[in-house]
Structure 1
Amino acid sequence: MSFFRLPFLAALLVLLTFSLSSCDAIGTIFKAGAWTALIGIFLLVVLLWFIVRKMRG
């Protein structure tokens, strides 16, 4: 790891720590609503099903 990359990664980690708190993430999820979560879960299951089906031939 180069000398200049380490401070950049440390600054990025500090920025993410302050900007992405867990309480804020949970609040955003609840604001989005249950229907958005259900649609997202449905799309994820369909995507996984598609990938598994393609892998099995």
Structure 2
Amino acid sequence: MSASRFSLFMLLAALATTLTACDAIGSIFKAGAYTGIIAVFIVVALLFFIVNKMRGPRP
């Protein structure tokens, strides 16, 4: 595993252990529907970006 993938893995592991799902969802509902929609969009875009980076360049 390369150093960049390892650091990305460690970042995701730290986020997964510090943010619980119930707290995150409760915060989103308190903030409102539009904030929730934007948060979901950002998470999906971030996951798409990470998956594309892990797959590497296409020929």
TM-score by length of structure 1 reads: 0.48
Q: Which has the greater radius of gyration?
A: 1
Q: Using CA pairs under 8 Å that are at least 6 residues apart, name the structure with larger relative contact order, 1 or 2.
A: 2
Normalization by structure 2: what TM-score? 0.47
